[in-house]
Amino acid sequence: MDKKLEIGEMLLTEVTIQNRVRELAWQISHDYEGKRLLVVAVLKGAFIFVADLARHLQVPAAFDFLAVCSYGSATASSGEVRILKDLDESVEGWDVLLVEDIVDTGLTLNYLTQSLWARRPASLRICSLLDKPARRQVPVKLDYCGFQIPDKFAVGYGLDFDGRYRNAPFIFVPAECLTEGEKGCD
């Protein structure tokens, strides 16, 4: 049995996340009134975010899912982006809203937006729960962003630590991911 991960720092509480998700849903509902909205969620990280967002949307929407692989394991980036599961349907003519869990280097979103634009959607916007601008390698324009976070490894609310802890309703930094200087400091 693996040792349980210790919370090093609480980044976002459940209440804070839920309030912001409702605000984002309200804004998106307003912007997509009368449009043909197709929400494309990026698995696995966005599965909880998109489910909560969906329940607060006030406009009819279709949903599809992409699964990509951009990280090897734990906290190290593999640098490459691979589509593990493609969309089920064509996006042609749809107003596509791409929903991500976090933008870090931007490589995943850069790849996905290029891939989606090539499929001729009527429009394409990006919604990410988290934005970690400190590590950006390619510029990414986020149309909807939940929270900007510092350059720390975030876990919970869809984000994993070596495949686990996606089900935590809050977002935290594991104790073992804090730098020595951050440990024990408030």
Give the interface with ligand 5GP as residue ranges (CB under 6 A): 45, 70-71, 77, 100-108, 132, 153-155, 159-160
Clarify whether 104 is annotated catalytic. Answer: yes
The smaller minimum CB distance to ligand 5GP, of residues 65 and 153, is found at 153
Select which of 52, 101, 104, 131 is catalytic. 104
Closest Cα to residue 100, out of 60, 146, 58, 133? 146
- Please identify, using beta-carbon distances, which residue of 95 and 100 lies nearer to ligand 5GP: 100
> Which residue lies nearer to ligand 5GP by CB, 8 or 32?
8
What is the smallest separation between the CB atom of 179 and ligand 5GP, expressed in angstroms? 14
- Least Å distance, CB 104 to ligand 5GP, is 3
Task: State in angstroms the smallest separation of the CB of 45 from ligand 5GP.
Answer: 4
Contacts 24+ apart (CB under 8 A), 104-107: 104/77, 104/132, 104/135, 104/136, 105/77, 105/135, 105/136, 105/137, 105/138, 106/136, 106/137, 106/138, 106/139, 106/140, 107/70, 107/79, 107/81, 107/137, 107/138
Catalytic machinery residues: 104
